[in-house]
Amino acid sequence: MAILKYSKREINRNFKVKVSGTYEGQKVSTLVGVNGLLRFVGDIDLTNRILDRAFNGRDDKCVCRLRRGIAISFYVY
């Protein structure tokens, strides 16, 4: 069983997470928490890789685009 590398508190404290694009035929553009992020991505290993990229980024914004048409933006605040 895979678990997240970072705690939910740590993720929510450091980032605003926005999901945009097309999900199940519907256009989506909304802020989500960790549970929403897991629901949209659907895979904990992929979520861990995306979070590693966001935490290691040096900019104020990190955008990760998935092949299925979803873009996940992490805004540092």
pLDDT per residue as tens digits for the range 4-40 = 999 999 999 999 999 999 999 999 999 999 999 999 9
CA–CA separation, 29 vs 32, rounded Å? Answer: 10
20: in domain: yes
Number of domains in the chain: 1
In a domain, 36, yes or no: yes
Q: Is residue 2 part of a domain?
A: no
Assigned domain for 3 exists: no
Alpha carbon separation from 25 to 22, 39, 41, 69 (Å, rounded): 6, 15, 15, 10
Rounded CA-CA distance 77/70 in Å is 22
The string of pLDDT tens digits covering residues 38-62 is: 999 999 999 999 999 999 999 999 9
In a domain, 46, yes or no: yes
Which H/E stretch holds residue 9? helix 8-14
Inside any domain, residue 28: yes
